[in-house]
């Protein structure tokens, strides 16, 4: 993927040490992008960098200082054409009556403020390029509620409004704002993190049907980023065929 100046386009992918983020790094690299891969775990990033030729930079998106260092690194090493705000996740599935305040606070810090912090940091770089993409991975949890999901659906709705509002605020500038909203994706860690390391409970989420895999989502990300510059895919919802909505999954074995 090249820019109008024939140099490879350059993307920053957050949450790149696992799941959708790692798959996105692999796919963008295969498509010819330069990629800066970021997450907290430097060892996993180093392995991904070794495999794909991406540049790795460890940063916690909930830290002002670490995101500032990440942005400085991106600036110093070649600037930016696209940011994939993917770092995020769910904590718990408790009903509102029993929900853990600290879990909700941490979800907000990671999904909403993390995306805000990274986006604010890189917007000047995208503007310096004269064009760019801000992509946000939300979820079908950004579109509707489900029992036990209020903490996660709440933060994903907020992330969606961040993207929607930013698109409005940037209209007239050559910067696209793209939202990808996946349904159930069987990634190594998403449900494991959600259920505090309970592998049996995590595995049940994906039992009896074919969920999406990380590369299915990476494919949609790469596709939206590679549309002609005048085409803005505002929102792309992608679910497994077996999932009609957040609460209806046909566990029929296919």
Interface positions with ligand NAP (CB under 6 A): 14-21, 39-41, 60-62, 86-89, 110, 137, 139, 182, 184-185, 187-190, 193, 214
Q: Active-site residues: which are they?
A: 152
Cβ at position 1, least distance to ligand NAP in Å? 22
Beta carbon nearer to ligand NAP, 175 or 186: 186
Beta carbon nearer to ligand NAP, 187 or 224: 187
Beta carbon nearer to ligand NAP, 21 or 121: 21
Cβ at position 3, least distance to ligand NAP in Å? 26
Q: Please give the full DSSP string across the chain, using - where no structure is assigned.
A: -B-TTSSBPEEEEESTTSHHHHHHHHHHHHTT-EEEEE-S-HHHHHHHHHHH--EE----TT-HHHHHHHHHHHHHTT--SEEEE----------GGG--HHHHHHHIIIIIIHHHHHHHHHHHHHHHHT-EEEEEE--GGGT---TT-HHHHHHHHHHHHHHHHHHHHTTTSSEEEEEEEE--B--SSHHHHHTTT-HHHHHHTTTTS--B-HHHHHHHHHHHHTS-TT----EEEE--TTEEETTEE--S--
Beta carbon nearer to ligand NAP, 139 or 249: 139
Beta carbon nearer to ligand NAP, 128 or 198: 198
Cβ at position 215, least distance to ligand NAP in Å? 11
Cβ at position 182, least distance to ligand NAP in Å? 4
Cβ at position 171, least distance to ligand NAP in Å? 25
Listed in sequence order, the residues at least 6 apart from 47 whose beta carbon sits closer than 8 Å to its beta carbon are none
CA separation for the pair 141, 92 (Å, rounded)? 14
Tokens of 132: 């760019």
């Amino acid at each position: 993927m090249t820019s109008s100046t024939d140099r490879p386009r350059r993307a920053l992918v957050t949450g790149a040490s696992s799941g959708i983020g790692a798959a996105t790094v692999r796919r963008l690299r295969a498509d010819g992008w330069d990629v800066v891969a970021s997450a907290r775990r430097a060892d996993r990033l180093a392995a991904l960098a070794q495999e794909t030729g991406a540049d790795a930079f460890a940063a916690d998106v909930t830290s002002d200082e670490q995101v500032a260092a990440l942005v400085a690194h991106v600036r110093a090493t070649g600037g930016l054409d696209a940011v994939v705000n993917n770092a995020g996740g769910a904590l718990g599935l408790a009903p509102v009556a029993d929900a853990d305040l600290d879990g909700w606070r941490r979800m907000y810090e990671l999904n909403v403020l993390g995306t805000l912090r990274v986006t604010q940091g890189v917007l000047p770089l995208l503007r310096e390029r004269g064009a760019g993409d801000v992509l946000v991975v939300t979820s079908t949890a950004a579109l509707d509620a489900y029992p036990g999901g209020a903490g996660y659906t709440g933060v994903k709705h907020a992330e969606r409004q961040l993207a929607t509002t930013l698109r409005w605020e940037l209209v007239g500038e050559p910067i696209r704002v793209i939202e990808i909203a996946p349904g159930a994706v069987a990634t190594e860690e998403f449900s494991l993190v959600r259920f505090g390391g309970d592998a049996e409970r995590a595995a049940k989420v994906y039992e009896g049907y074919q969920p999406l895999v990380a590369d299915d989502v990476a494919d949609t990300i790469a596709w939206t980023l590679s549309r002609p510059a005048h085409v803005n895919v505002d929102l792309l919802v992608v679910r497994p065929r077996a999932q009609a909505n957040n609460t209806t999954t046909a566990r029929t074995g296919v």
